[in-house]
């Protein structure tokens, strides 16, 4: 029988098995994670809407059901947290905006509902910037979330609350959303695992950003956890159409355990030609390359054709509606005081014409087509997640550094992030494993191999481990 600490620091699947086998009750496990949250959250400000009493009731019900031989699903009795951009029927969901500071949606986001249907127990909501539209996690409702490796730095955004809490050992898993890097960047900054699935793999119904409009096909919901195996388990649960998100399709789900990575054509690069990374970021990519080549695998240094255009194209796509999406979000939420980021948009910009919008769409599709030719020669690409490690809370945003993630929102390709190193400031360094559309199995398989080869890293300074 495993000890409580072994269970708490183990895999999500291991926690579920421990509950089913009677090694620990859902109530005991939930209370243990709540205690961890209470220990680290005063510093981190990662969990912003606790639902502890309700979680204990759900956990008690899970234990009662198990005693009767009733198992709800593969996550029966396992606690979780949830990003505050995803609606929850029984908890306030603010989307990080003042107009919704007391708003109860009355319905779960589709991905949340699917996790609950498998027995997961919600402990509370994690912080996100207003409408998820920032690479830092800060808003006027709850304030700023801190990085557990250094509270003077950001855990990234927009899924920063989720990443910080998982990294600190206070949550087994969470769901993030990724429109420009919002799962992958916090995973890199905070030293955890995360995957942005292929656009259309997971329904975004119930997320802060709408499932309609120019940028709807860019966003994806995806799991964040401490291990690659957890990502695969959770992704299987939340994938598939819900007959509401018009971009979600019934794509085949392949098992990453069936992939022989020695048969994959793997490319790598440490510089995308837009923003040269810090040395620690380059070193992490090269470490992954050397581990693979050391096992006899052949890797090729390469960049997709058209990658150099990604920053220009993404900026034009996000601005093609002249701010209409943000205006609608603020109006629908009845938010009169937007965050400084959203309120700083110049009011005197010339409006885009129909010709301008059509040009943006054509250029975007041509970029996607050019980039796709990469998979004529390769199956997987290993590259940086960002040009830097976690930046200070007040540091300005250099958008070119974020081109490493935004490029693949523009294509819709899946990407898994794992920790692969540590910089001179003891901050985690992640790497990104990109794959062809709907080949998450390739991405996860390489990530799992590298995770095993790299071994464990030291937990953050602020940690409940």
The 10s digit of each residue's pLDDT in 155-202 is: 999 999 999 999 999 999 999 999 999 999 999 999 999 999 999 999
Confidence category of residue 465, pLDDT binned at 50, 70, 90: low
| Dist CA 266 CA 222 (whole Å) | 24
Domain membership of residue 250 (yes or no) is yes
Pair 265, 380: CB distance under 8 Å: yes
Residue 210: CB partners within 8 Å, gap ≥ 6? 216, 325, 328, 329
Pair 2, 23: CB distance under 8 Å: yes
Confidence category of residue 3, pLDDT binned at 50, 70, 90: very high
Domain membership of residue 446 (yes or no) is yes
What is the predicted pLDDT for the residue at 142?
A: 98
What distance lies between CA 212 and its chain's CA centroid? 21
| Dist CA 390 CA 448 (whole Å) | 24
Structure tokens at 135: 């690479």
Domain membership of residue 263 (yes or no) is yes
Active site residue 353: no
Domain membership of residue 463 (yes or no) is no
Domain membership of residue 164 (yes or no) is yes
pLDDT tops 80 at residue 348: no
| Dist CA 251 CA 437 (whole Å) | 10
Residue 340's nearest CA partner among 177, 136, 154, 84 is 136
**DSSP string for 374-437:** GGGT-SEEEEES-SSSPPBTTPPP-GGGGHHHHHHHHHT--EEEEEEEE-TTS-EEEEEEEEST
Structure tokens at 413: 């390709």
What is the predicted pLDDT for the residue at 91?
A: 98
**Region 82-86: what's the mean pLDDT?**
98
State which residues form the domain around 372: 4-454
365 exposed, middle or buried (CB, 10 Å; 0-12, 13-18, 19+)?
A: exposed
pLDDT tops 80 at residue 78: yes
Lowest-confidence pick of 130-139, 141-150, 341-350, 432-441: 341-350
Angle between helices 310-319 and 354-372 (to 10 degrees): 140
Helix (H, G, I), strand (E, B) or coil at 170: coil
What is the predicted pLDDT for the residue at 17?
A: 98
| Dist CA 164 CA 170 (whole Å) | 9
Catalytic, out of 25, 85, 144, 158: 158
The 10s digit of each residue's pLDDT in 415-427 is: 999 999 999 999 9
| Dist CA 369 CA 366 (whole Å) | 5
Pair 440, 414: CB distance under 8 Å: yes
What is the predicted pLDDT for the residue at 462?
A: 85
| Dist CA 364 CA 356 (whole Å) | 12
| Dist CA 93 CA 132 (whole Å) | 13
pLDDT tops 60 at residue 204: yes
Catalytic, out of 26, 83, 136, 171: 83
Catalytic, out of 25, 134, 159, 182: 182
Helix (H, G, I), strand (E, B) or coil at 156: coil
Q: How many CB atoms lie within 10 A of CB 354?
A: 7
- What is the signed CA dihedral for 207, 209, 215, 217, rounded to 10 degrees? 10
Confidence category of residue 345, pLDDT binned at 50, 70, 90: low
Domain membership of residue 376 (yes or no) is yes
pLDDT tops 60 at residue 323: yes
**Sign of the CA dihedral running 356, 362, 366, 369:** positive
Average pLDDT taken over every residue of the chain:
96
pLDDT tops 80 at residue 349: no
Active site residue 83: yes
**Sign of the CA dihedral running 433, 156, 162, 421:** positive
What is the predicted pLDDT for the residue at 346?
A: 53
Domain membership of residue 442 (yes or no) is yes
Pair 232, 250: CB distance under 8 Å: no
Structure tokens at 271: 């510089």
Confidence category of residue 57, pLDDT binned at 50, 70, 90: very high
What is the predicted pLDDT for the residue at 350?
A: 67
Give the whole-number percent of the chain exceeding pLDDT 70.
98
Higher pLDDT, 349 or 130: 130
Confidence category of residue 464, pLDDT binned at 50, 70, 90: low
Confidence category of residue 351, pLDDT binned at 50, 70, 90: confident
Pair 173, 408: CB distance under 8 Å: no
Residue 72: CB partners within 8 Å, gap ≥ 6? 62, 65, 117, 118, 119
**Region 210-238: what's the mean pLDDT?**
96
What is the predicted pLDDT for the residue at 218?
A: 95
Q: Which CATH number covers residue 153?
A: 3.90.1300.10
Higher pLDDT, 157 or 353: 157
What is the predicted pLDDT for the residue at 215?
A: 85
Confidence category of residue 1, pLDDT binned at 50, 70, 90: confident
The 10s digit of each residue's pLDDT in 106-129 is: 999 999 999 999 999 999 999 999
| Dist CA 174 CA 191 (whole Å) | 14
| Dist CA 114 CA 454 (whole Å) | 32
DSSP for residue 35 = H
**Region 202-220: what's the mean pLDDT?**
95
* Domain total of the chain: 1
Residues 102-112, buried b or exposed e (16+ Cβ, 10 A)?
eeebeebbbbb
Domain membership of residue 459 (yes or no) is no
Helix (H, G, I), strand (E, B) or coil at 123: strand
Active site residue 158: yes
Pair 57, 150: CB distance under 8 Å: no
| Dist CA 38 CA 34 (whole Å) | 6
Residue 318's nearest CA partner among 185, 412, 218 is 218
The 10s digit of each residue's pLDDT in 275-301 is: 999 999 999 999 999 999 999 999 999
| Dist CA 84 CA 95 (whole Å) | 6
pLDDT tops 70 at residue 86: yes
What is the predicted pLDDT for the residue at 126?
A: 99
């Amino acid at each position: 029988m495993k000890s409580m600490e072994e269970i708490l620091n183990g895999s999500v699947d291991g926690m579920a098995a421990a509950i089913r086998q009677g090694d620990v009750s859902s109530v005991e496990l939930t209370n243990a994670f709540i205690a961890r949250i209470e220990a680290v959250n005063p510093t981190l400000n990662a969990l912003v809407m606790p639902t502890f009493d309700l979680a204990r009731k759900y956990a008690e019900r899970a234990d009662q059901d198990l005693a009767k031989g009733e198992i709800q699903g593969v996550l029966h009795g396992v606690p979780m947290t949830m990003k505050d951009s995803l609606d929850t029927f029984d908890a306030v969901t603010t989307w990080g905006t003042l107009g919704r500071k007391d708003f109860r949606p009355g319905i779960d986001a589709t991905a949340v509902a699917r996790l609950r249907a498998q027995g997961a127990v919600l402990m509370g909501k994690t912080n996100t910037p207003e409408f998820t539209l920032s690479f830092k996690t800060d808003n006027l409702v709850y304030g700023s979330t801190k990085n557990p490796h250094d509270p003077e730095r950001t855990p990234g955004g927009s899924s920063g609350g989720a990443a910080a809490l998982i990294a600190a050992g206070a949550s087994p898993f969470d769901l993030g959303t990724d429109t420009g890097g919002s799962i992958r960047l916090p995973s890199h900054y905070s030293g955890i695992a995360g995957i942005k699935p292929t656009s259309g793999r997971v329904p975004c119904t119930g997320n802060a950003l709408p499932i309609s409009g120019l940028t709807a096909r860019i966003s994806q919901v995806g799991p964040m956890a401490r291990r690659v195996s957890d990502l695969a388990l959770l992704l299987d649960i939340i994938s598939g159409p819900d007959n509401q998100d018009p971009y979600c399709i019934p794509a085949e789900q392949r098992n990453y355990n069936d992939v022989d990575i020695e048969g994959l054509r793997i490319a790598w690069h440490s510089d995308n030609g837009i923003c040269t990374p810090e040395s620690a970021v380059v070193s992490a990519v090269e470490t992954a390359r050397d581990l693979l080549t050391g096992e006899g695998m052949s890797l090729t240094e390469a960049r997709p054709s058209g990658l150099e255009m990604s920053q220009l194209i993404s900026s034009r796509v996000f601005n093609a509606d002249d701010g209409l999406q943000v205006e609608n979000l603020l109006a629908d939420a009845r938010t009169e005081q937007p965050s400084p980021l959203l309120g700083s948009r110049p009011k005197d910009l010339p409006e885009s014409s129909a010709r301008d919008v059509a040009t943006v769409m054509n250029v975007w599709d041509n970029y996607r087509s050019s980039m796709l030719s990469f998979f004529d020669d390769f199956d997987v690409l290993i590259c940086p997640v960002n040009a830097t490690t976690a930046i200070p809370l007040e540091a300005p945003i250099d958008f070119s550094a974020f081109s490493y993630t935004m490029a693949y929102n523009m294509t819709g390709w899946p990407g898994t992030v794992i920790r692969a190193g540590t910089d001179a400031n003891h901050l985690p360094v992640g790497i990104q494993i990109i794959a062809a559309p709907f080949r998450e199995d390739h991405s996860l398989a390489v990530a799992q191999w590298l995770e095993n080869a790299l071994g464990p890293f030291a937990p953050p300074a602020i940690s409940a481990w």
